[in-house]
Every structure is written in structure tokens, then in C-alpha cells.
């Protein structure tokens, strides 16, 4: 259980952010910063998360924040860590925090580079499964069949498995998380902040505009992703894989049918989704 | 030509957006605590805007920060969304 | 002062080492790689206390160095040609964020077609980026300018590029006077100004509206204007401190009574110097103007030297397609309405093409010939 009485009161990020109401990215940021604390330097490449936190001479951040170019946040953070080390500045969480594009697509090169070097940092992929800062186009993290602003027929291919790719780097810590499960998410940030090498945390953070849901449903839909088994919560801690939450296996259809982006799915397509979830968890056909 | 007095490195003041916030411009409905005893403190971590805080009396809402998304009312009992605008109706 | 025999690559690495750089990142490329390897060896041998970030691309190299600079470390990188082009986005960004990064560029031709030979097209591609650009005539310049670059960059809070040509300089041994390390340390006092500071947190590079963006750009340009005063004063102080002549913006050679001036930057300045000496022996009143600082463009300083000449031959080892050589274009613009000189721009030496005494002779003759169309650049050595 979360000890709310002792949760840090300080809002290092979030208050006055210029994002949409019900923003999943902002929720992820707030939960993470409750754990990371003020001795954190965060870099965020082009994304909603970068733009919603700073406007002209004002920012919502209360620790050093830098809005980087799209494809290089992990490289910038590598430089920041090197600069801190040479100055003997310790006990700082160096974080790069990118969207699905800035991590898995245009930003993938610098991410894989920093991970391979085992840089002492945490990289976060906050995943809204499409390019929301430009209006919601298809990317590699867009799920199968989902309709986007430039894909009215639905995505014909699967989502790229970033967690598996990052696990293959042999880094210190890999975890999936979901904003509907703050206790689990925060425990993962806590663990990542103690690592001496590279950590990767992949957070499912719905965008109600892109997903075709109501703002107030942001948490509810996100929860359904995990409960249905579609978004497994797990960690790989120095090679040891653990499922951190046992889903209730609610029907995948419940999750899919409640979102505008899946409104065109046929019964067969929904069945195909359910079949692959069943098969992954060893629950038969 | 005299330029505005801006920092050398383009940057903003920490936390200054919070002071300038005006959630009302985005709100159609606002959350109200109807039963403090039944409010689930998890909403502290579900709020995207840091508009909820915990004090001796329980959860408090900052209407300066709240954009009226409705997540807290959806995720917890004891909070209800009420319309911001209750003036004259029915003129079409 | 200690006389040593080193390549331009070694001079660049030595300059960075004497400046006690704290963070280094680079991605190997030819012909800049020997400078990179030399720096890594200094670090491995514990002759230099510096963090090296082994990045996976040139883009990340400048990005990492930028991150380090923002967090308060003295930072350096080296690249050239395609690497510099890949860095372009970060180069503009670093200038906009006013970070005192120093970058060595072992100038090389750009693809396509593929070429690994010397040319200044890579540096010229960055002419609008907001970086101060210094050009080196010889390996002594590479060392001196690298050291001075840190002083200029940190004083102005603006990045500086030190250009030296691939192979002609990067791989060629020359005698160089090496300054005393302690004196360099005193010349470059470390004054950290981190933008990402835990004790004074700020949000860097916020979304900027039309109300503020022009003001930031005005400030950025003002720094470049100030550089026109700062660069000569740093050069003068350096010359005094280390007893070696080092020019600031430009340097005139045998121009006092000259009727014809050759203007050039980079290694071809040395070739032109030999040509001028030879012509002087034959009684021709010709001189040379070496341009060390190309960005900011020292229009005033150049015009002062060109006031009395009839002919100006500008040698450009670069081409801005549809326009001409970058240096000639800038000089023509600066001279507009200022005098009656015949200014002739010549393109030569692209991608390692011919640019020796004979080509310079041809260029000079072309300028003085009545048939020359001064509105377009002449290509020599095709």
C-alpha cells in the first residue's frame, strides 16, 4: 500500500502544465517525480511532455529540465552524467524521458547507444502509442489495427516490442509500467534509481485524444490494458524476470471496444487479439 | 533596438507555470468533494495537474490548477463533477 | 615554448589537452580520426582527466557534448564533412543555447560524389549556424586557435569551430611551438556556468512564442558582433603571453603598397604566401590577406586592407551552388558601394582538386584580364 501521508508533498512537475486535461503523460511524470526527487536532471526530446512543461519564461519543472532535439535525449543525458562525474557531483538521477517516437523510432539510435554503453541513467518511454504531439500519426508503437490520423484503415502490422529489444541489451533494469498502477510504477522507479548502469522503464500512458476516449477514462482504459493481459506489468532486474502484477484477464474486447481508435475492428480481429493474449499467458486458445 | 531582458540561455523559471495557472479556462465541470471520508487518496497520483493535496482534513482541490478532466471523480467515491456554468439555459 | 614536430590532428588534440577539456565525445570519421585517437590515448595514459563518451553517431557526439556543456563541463568534439552535416541540427541548437563548445573540423569534401579529400564545403555549410568559425593556415594555427577558441567561447558563451584541412593539415607534420601547459591553464581559467544546475534549477529551451523568439535571436547575433572585438583582443593577449604571433580576424601580408590582393582562408594561404613572395621578386605589387575569422564575418577589417588595391582575387575551396565561393560572396557584399576594386572570385581545390602555385597564378591573371566576367566565379583546375 502507498503511504500517502509520507508521500512527498512537493510537486516537482505537473502544476500549471499546459497539456490537455486528463493527460496520461503528465500523470506518468507526476508519479515518477514523487520517487525521483529534486536531485534529478531530466531531458525530454520533442514530444507533448517536452512542450507541456515549459512556456516562454515559465516552466512547471522545479528541477533542471532540458527540452532536447528529437533524436538524442539519451546522448544528451550521457553528457550530463559525464559532466556531473567530472565535477564530483553525486546522488543525482539522470533521466531521459521520451515518447514512443523519441524512444522507439527517431530516437532509437541514441537510446540503443546509451544502453549499450551502460550509461548510469534511466530512460523512460512514455507510450501513448502514436505521434500525439503532431496530431496522432502511426508509429512503431501503434498497436495492430489501430486507426490514427494518417492511417484511417488501421495499422496493418504489429507493435514493435521495445521491452524485448531493451532487455536484449543486457542492461541493469527493464520494466513495464502503467499509470493506473502507481504503486507498481513508483516501486520500479525506486529500483531503477539505485542501479549503477542503464535502466529502461516503459510506461503505458493513454492519450484520450488519440485513443478516442473521454478524458476522465484515461486511468480506467489504461487499467483495462493491463487487466486484459495486453499490457503485462513486469520487470527484468539484472536478468531476473518477474511479473509484478497478476491480471484478472478481463476480455480484450472490453478494452478494444471502449476506444475510438479500434472502432473498426471486426469480430475476427478482436478474436485474434484474444487468441494471442491467451496463448502468451498459457491460457489455451 | 533594445531587446527584452532575457536569460542568455533560453530558459524558464522553475515552477512559474504553477503560479500562472488558470484551470478554469479549460473546465466545463469541476470536481467537488461530496463525502471526504470516502475519497480514495490514490487520486493524488491520478491527477495530471497536481491539483489535489492532502491536509489534516483530507483531500483538498486547487481550482487554480484543476482543468476539470474528471479522473478523480471517476476513480474515487466521494467526489462528484458539477457543471461550472449554471446560468440561464434554453436559448437556441 | 617548446618546438615539436606534429600533425594538424596532433595539434588539435594537444590544444584540447592543454585546455584541460573535461568531457569529450566523437564518432570516428576520416580524416578527423587521428585527433580523436590521440585524445583518447591522453585519457587512457592519464595525461588528461576527461570523461570520454563513446557515442554511436556524430549527431549523438555533439548532443552528448552539448549535454555536458549545459551541465557545466568544458567540452570538446572533432569531426568533418558528413559527420558535421549529421551534427547540423545539434550545431544550430548548441548555438541557440549559447553553449561554449569547441569543435575541431578537419575539413573534407561533401558527398556526392563520394570524396575523402580536403575542401571547405563542410564548414561553409554551417555558415548560418551561429558558430564562430576560425580557419587555420598551418599546424601552429591549429594549436593556437584551439586554445584561443575556449577563451572566446567561454567569454561570449557561444560555440566555436576550429577548421583545419583534412590531410593537408590533419596528416602533415610541421614544426609547432607548444606553449607551456601552466601558462595555458592560467590563460583559460575555468568559470563554470551550468544551465542545468541542481542549485539553481531552470527549464532549458522552453516553447518560445513570437513575443520572445526574435529577442533571443537578437541577443545571439549581438554575441557574434561582440566577437569581432573579442577575437582580436584574445589573439593579442595570446601573442603577448606566449610570444608567438597570432592574428585575430585577418592578417595582411605585403599589402602596404599592393595593387593586387589575394584573399583566402585555410591552408591555401600558405601556398598564396609563396606565390606572393615569388611575384614580389619579379616586381609585381601583390599582397595577401589571410582570413582567420570567417564567422562572424569581419567585413570592416577586410575592407581596411583592400581600400587601396585595384584587384582582389578571392580563392574559395568551396562552392555555394548558383552563387559562387562563400568568401568571395561575403567580400563582394561587404565591398558594395565602398570602392572601385575589381573583385574576382575563384573556385579551386574542390574535393582535393588542384590548388597550387600555378592555379593561383591563373586566378590572378584572370582577375587582371579584361575578359573576366566578375559577376560569376571562375573555376580553375578543372
pLDDT at A266: 97
Name which of B45, B66, B70 to mutate to probe chain A: the one with the most chain A Cβ atoms within 10 A of its Cβ. B45
- Residue of C201, C216, C222 with shortest CB distance to B10: C216
Quick check: B92 pLDDT over 90? no
Q: Could you tell me if residue B4 is inside a domain?
A: no
Tell me which chain A residue has its CA closest to the CA of residue B41. A4
Name which of B2, B3, B9, B12 to mutate to probe chain C: the one with the most chain C Cβ atoms within 10 A of its Cβ. B9
Quick check: C272 pLDDT over 90? yes
Domain total of chain B: 1
If you search the block for the grid coordinates 471517476, which residue do you land on?
B74
Quick check: C374 pLDDT over 90? no
Report percent pLDDT > 90 for chain C: 95
Kindly report, residue by residue over A176-234, the tens digit of the pLDDT: 999 999 999 999 999 999 999 999 999 999 999 999 999 999 999 999 999 999 999 99
C376/A contact by beta carbon, under 8 A: no
Contact: A7, B54; criterion CB under 8 Å? yes
pLDDT confidence tier of residue A47, bands split at 50, 70 and 90? very high
Q: Could you tell me if residue B55 is inside a domain?
A: yes
Contact: C51, A85; criterion CB under 8 Å? yes
Average pLDDT, chain A: 97
Contact: B4, C215; criterion CB under 8 Å? yes
Q: Could you tell me if residue B15 is inside a domain?
A: no
Mean pLDDT along residues A48-64: 95
Interface of B with C in 9-28 (CB under 8 A): 9-14
3-state secondary structure A88-154: CCCCCEEEEEECHHHHHCCCHHHHHHHHHCCCCEEEEEEECCCEHHHCCECCCCCCCCCCECCECCC
pLDDT confidence tier of residue C43, bands split at 50, 70 and 90? very high
Kindly report, residue by residue over C218-258, the tens digit of the pLDDT: 999 999 999 999 999 999 999 999 988 889 999 999 999 99
Contact: A216, B47; criterion CB under 8 Å? no
Cα A199 to Cα A187: distance, rounded to the nearest angstrom: 13
Contact: A16, B19; criterion CB under 8 Å? yes
Q: Could you tell me if residue B37 is inside a domain?
A: yes
Kindly report, residue by residue over A110-139, the tens digit of the pLDDT: 999 999 999 999 999 999 999 999 999 999
Cα C346 to Cα C351: distance, rounded to the nearest angstrom: 15
pLDDT at C120: 98
Cα A18 to Cα A160: distance, rounded to the nearest angstrom: 30
- Chain B residues with CB under 8 Å of A61 CB are 14-15
- Bridge partner list, A176: A202
Which residue from C306, C293, C67, C315 is spatially nearest to C195, judged by alpha carbons? C67
- With beta carbons less than 8 A apart as the criterion, state whether C16 and C102 touch: yes
pLDDT at A1: 84
C310 three-class SS: coil
Alpha-carbon distances, residue C374 vs C264, C272, C310, C359 (angstroms): 17, 21, 13, 18
Tell me which residue range forms the domain holding B74.
26-82
B4/C contact by beta carbon, under 8 A: yes
Quick check: A64 pLDDT over 70? yes
Report percent pLDDT > 70 for chain C: 99
Helix axes C81-96, C213-242, angle to 10 degrees: 110
Quick check: B90 pLDDT over 70? no
Which residue from A54, A29, A41, A51 is spatially nearest to A95, judged by alpha carbons? A41
Neighbours of chain A (3+ CB pairs under 8 A): B, C
- Residue of A21, A60, A216 with shortest CB distance to B73: A216
- Residue of A19, A34, A59 with shortest CB distance to B48: A19
Q: Could you tell me if residue B19 is inside a domain?
A: no
- Residue of A61, A66, A71 with shortest CB distance to C70: A66
pLDDT confidence tier of residue B87, bands split at 50, 70 and 90? confident
Q: Could you tell me if residue B7 is inside a domain?
A: no
- Bridge partner list, C378: C346
Report percent pLDDT > 90 for chain B: 82
Q: What is the CATH number of the domain that holds B54?
A: 3.30.70
Helical ranges in C157-298 per DSSP H: 181-187, 213-242, 268-281
- Residue of B3, B9, B13 with shortest CB distance to C215: B3
Contact: B12, A62; criterion CB under 8 Å? no
Kindly report, residue by residue over C284-314, the tens digit of the pLDDT: 999 999 999 999 999 999 999 999 999 999 9
Dihedral angle over CA of C16, C20, C25, C31, nearest 10: 20
Contact: B11, C222; criterion CB under 8 Å? no
- Residue of A79, A86, A112 with shortest CB distance to C64: A79
- With beta carbons less than 8 A apart as the criterion, state whether C98 and C82 touch: no
How many CB atoms within 10 Å of residue B40? 15
Kindly report, residue by residue over C79-104, the tens digit of the pLDDT: 999 999 999 999 999 999 999 999 99
pLDDT at C363: 97
- With beta carbons less than 8 A apart as the criterion, state whether C79 and C58 touch: yes
Contact: A218, B69; criterion CB under 8 Å? yes
Contact: B15, A22; criterion CB under 8 Å? no
pLDDT at C126: 98
Strand A240-243 to A234-237 pairing: antiparallel
Quick check: A20 pLDDT over 90? yes
Kindly report, residue by residue over A68-103, the tens digit of the pLDDT: 999 999 999 999 999 999 999 999 999 999 999 999
- Chain C residues with CB under 8 Å of B2 CB are none
Non-local CB neighbours of C141 within 8 Å, separated by 6+ positions:
C164, C246, C292
Mean pLDDT along residues B46-65: 95
Quick check: C339 pLDDT over 90? no
pLDDT confidence tier of residue A285, bands split at 50, 70 and 90? low
Mean pLDDT along residues C136-143: 98
- Chain A residues with CB under 8 Å of B75 CB are 219-220
Average pLDDT, chain C: 97
Q: What is the pTM of this model?
A: 0.97
Distance from CA of B45 to the nearest CA of C (A): 23
Alpha-carbon distances, residue A259 vs A69, A149, A158, B47, C333 (angstroms): 32, 14, 18, 21, 61
Distance from CA of A9 to the nearest CA of C (A): 18
Q: Could you tell me if residue B17 is inside a domain?
A: no
Strand A234-237 to B29-33 pairing: unpaired
Q: Could you tell me if residue B65 is inside a domain?
A: yes
- Chain B residues with CB under 8 Å of C66 CB are none
pLDDT at A169: 98
If you search the block for the grid coordinates 520517487, which residue do you land on?
A35
Amino acid at each position: 500500500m502507498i503511504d500517502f501521508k509520507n508521500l512527498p508533498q512537493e510537486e516537482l512537475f505537473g502544476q500549471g502544465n499546459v497539456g490537455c486535461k486528463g493527460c496520461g503523460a503528465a500523470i506518468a511524470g507526476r508519479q515518477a517525480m514523487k520517487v525521483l526527487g529534486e536531485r534529478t536532471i531530466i531531458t525530454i526530446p520533442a514530444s507533448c511532455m517536452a512542450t507541456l512543461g515549459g512556456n516562454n519564461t515559465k516552466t512547471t519543472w522545479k528541477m533542471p529540465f532540458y527540452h532536447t532535439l528529437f533524436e538524442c535525449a539519451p546522448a544528451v543525458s550521457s553528457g550530463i552524467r559525464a559532466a556531473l562525474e567530472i565535477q564530483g557531483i553525486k546522488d543525482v538521477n539522470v533521466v531521459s524521458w521520451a515518447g514512443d517516437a523519441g524512444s522507439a523510432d527517431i530516437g532509437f539510435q541514441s537510446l540503443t547507444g546509451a544502453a549499450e554503453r551502460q550509461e548510469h541513467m534511466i530512460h523512460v518511454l512514455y507510450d501513448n502509442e502514436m505521434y500525439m504531439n503532431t496530431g496522432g500519426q502511426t508509429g512503431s508503437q501503434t498497436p495492430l489495427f489501430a486507426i490514427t490520423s494518417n492511417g484511417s484503415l488501421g495499422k496493418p502490422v504489429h507493435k514493435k516490442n521495445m521491452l524485448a529489444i531493451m532487455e536484449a541489451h543486457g542492461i541493469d533494469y527493464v520494466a513495464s509500467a502503467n499509470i493506473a498502477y502507481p504503486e507498481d510504477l513508483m516501486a520500479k522507479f525506486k529500483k531503477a534509481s539505485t542501479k549503477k548502469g542503464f535502466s529502461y522503464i516503459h510506461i503505458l500512458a493513454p492519450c484520450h485524444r488519440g485513443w478516442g476516449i473521454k478524458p476522465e477514462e484515461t486511468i480506467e482504459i489504461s487499467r483495462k490494458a493491463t487487466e486484459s493481459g495486453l499490457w503485462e506489468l513486469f520487470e527484468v532486474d539484472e536478468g531476473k524476470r518477474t511479473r509484478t502484477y497478476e491480471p484478472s484477464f478481463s476480455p480484450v474486447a472490453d478494452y478494444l471496444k471502449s476506444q475510438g481508435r479500434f472502432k473498426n475492428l471486426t469480430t475476427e480481429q478482436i478474436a485474434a487479439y484474444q487468441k494471442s493474449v491467451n496463448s502468451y499467458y498459457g491460457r489455451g486458445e | 533596438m533594445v531587446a527584452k531582458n532575457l536569460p542568455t540561455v533560453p530558459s524558464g523559471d522553475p515552477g512559474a507555470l504553477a503560479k500562472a495557472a488558470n484551470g478554469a479556462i479549460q473546465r466545463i465541470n469541476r470536481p467537488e468533494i461530496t463525502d471526504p471520508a470516502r475519497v480514495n487518496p490514490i487520486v493524488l497520483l491520478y491527477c495530471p495537474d497536481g491539483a489535489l493535496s492532502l491536509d489534516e482534513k483530507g483531500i483538498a482541490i486547487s481550482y487554480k490548477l484543476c482543468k476539470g478532466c474528471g479522473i478523480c471523480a471517476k476513480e474515487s467515491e466521494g467526489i462528484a463533477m458539477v457543471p461550472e456554468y449554471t446560468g440561464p439555459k434554453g436559448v437556441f | 615554448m617548446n618546438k615539436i614536430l606534429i600533425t594538424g590532428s596532433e595539434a588539435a588534440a594537444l590544444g584540447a589537452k592543454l585546455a584541460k577539456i573535461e568531457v569529450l565525445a566523437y564518432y570516428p570519421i576520416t580524416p578527423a580520426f587521428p585527433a580523436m585517437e590521440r585524445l583518447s590515448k591522453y585519457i587512457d595514459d592519464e595525461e588528461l582527466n576527461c570523461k570520454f563518451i563513446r557515442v554511436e553517431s556524430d549527431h549523438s557526439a555533439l548532443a552528448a557534448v552539448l549535454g555536458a556543456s549545459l551541465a557545466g563541463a568544458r567540452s570538446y568534439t572533432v569531426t568533418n564533412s558528413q559527420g558535421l552535416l549529421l551534427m547540423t541540427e545539434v550545431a544550430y541548437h548548441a548555438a541557440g543555447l549559447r553553449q561554449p563548445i569547441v569543435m575541431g573540423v578537419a575539413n573534407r569534401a561533401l558527398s556526392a560524389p563520394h570524396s575523402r579529400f580536403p575542401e571547405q564545403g563542410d564548414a561553409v555549410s554551417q555558415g548560418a549556424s551561429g558558430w564562430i568559425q576560425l580557419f587555420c593556415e598551418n599546424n601552429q594555427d591549429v594549436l593556437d586557435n584551439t586554445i584561443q577558441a575556449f577563451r572566446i567561447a567561454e567569454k561570449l558563451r557561444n560555440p566555436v569551430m576550429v577548421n583545419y584541412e583534412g590531410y593537408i593539415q590533419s596528416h602533415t607534420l610541421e614544426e609547432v611551438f607548444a606553449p607551456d601547459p601552466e601558462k595555458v591553464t592560467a590563460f583559460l581559467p575555468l568559470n563554470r556556468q551550468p544551465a542545468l544546475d541542481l542549485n539553481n534549477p531552470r527549464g532549458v529551451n522552453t516553447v518560445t512564442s513570437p513575443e520572445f523568439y526574435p529577442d533571443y535571436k537578437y541577443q545571439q547575433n549581438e554575441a557574434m558582433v561582440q566577437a569581432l572585438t573579442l577575437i582580436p583582443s584574445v589573439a593579442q593577449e595570446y601573442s603577448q603571453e606566449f610570444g608567438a604571433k597570432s592574428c585575430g580576424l585577418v592578417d595582411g601580408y605585403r599589402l602596404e603598397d599592393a595593387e593586387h590582393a589575394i584573399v583566402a582562408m585555410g591552408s591555401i594561404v600558405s601556398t598564396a604566401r609563396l606565390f606572393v613572395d615569388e611575384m614580389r621578386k619579379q616586381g609585381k605589387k601583390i599582397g595577401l590577406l589571410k582570413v582567420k575569422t570567417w564567422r562572424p564575418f569581419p567585413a570592416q577589417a577586410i575592407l581596411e586592407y583592400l581600400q587601396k588595391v585595384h584587384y582582389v582575387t578571392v580563392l574559395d575551396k568551396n562552392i555555394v551552388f548558383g552563387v559562387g565561393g562563400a568568401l568571395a560572396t561575403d567580400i563582394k557584399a561587404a565591398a558594395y558601394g565602398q570602392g572601385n576594386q575589381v573583385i574576382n572570385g575563384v573556385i579551386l581545390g574542390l574535393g582535393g582538386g588542384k590548388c597550387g602555385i600555378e592555379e593561383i597564378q591563373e586566378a590572378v591573371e584572370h582577375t587582371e584580364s579584361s575578359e573576366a566576367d566578375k559577376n560569376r566565379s571562375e573555376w580553375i583546375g578543372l
